[in-house]
Amino acid sequence: MTTKHNFFFQFIFTATDSSSLDSKILLILEISQVCCSVLVWFFFISKQAPLVWKKAEDRILEYDTDDNDVNDSHNDMSNRHEKKQNISLNKKFIHMIRNFTIYMTYLLFDPLILYYLFYTSFAILGMFNPVFIAILLLDVFFRFY
């Protein structure tokens, strides 16, 4: 004996049953949940991003000093200034891509930034399926852990 489950996503603006007022209230609460979670995410990003940015800058400086130490061991001080001014456009582009990659790695893989991003995503998905609203209750465990 097999059972068939129909799982689907839908966005309900109007209800056709007798509980239309309940559905409208639920929709208003879901929209307010999404707005609040987006605000929390933006406030957290505005607080956390400069700290993560500083970590990324420290890592970039560490890479640059490692590169300079290797290059300086073979050259004297007078040639270093001339060499820095003669850096090719290709090398500048490579450094720019490397720095951008480091910044994005630090911003996108910070655990708390990922947590709030997923929280906001589940709040948005909760408007389509109530299972995602239940996942938002895991925030209680995170807060009191």
What phi and psi, each to the nearest 5 degrees, are found at residue 3?
-110, 145
51/99 Cα distance (integer angstroms): 16
User: 10-64: per-residue pLDDT in tens?
Assistant: 555 544 555 688 888 888 888 998 899 889 888 988 888 888 888 888 888 888 7
For 85, the 3-state DSSP assignment is: helix
Does the CA dihedral 130-132-138-142 come out positive or negative? negative
CA-nearest of 129, 141, 115, 143 to 37 is 115
103/97 Cα distance (integer angstroms): 10
The token pair at 64 is: 């640059």
User: 99-117: per-residue pLDDT in tens?
Assistant: 889 888 888 888 888 888 8
Q: What is the mean pLDDT of residues 130-145?
A: 81
* Amino acid of residue 10: Q
116/34 Cα distance (integer angstroms): 12
Report the predicted TM-score, pTM, of the whole model to 2 decimal places: 0.59
In the predicted model, is pLDDT for residue 65 greater than 70?
yes
The token pair at 56 is: 């990324």
For 88, the 3-state DSSP assignment is: coil
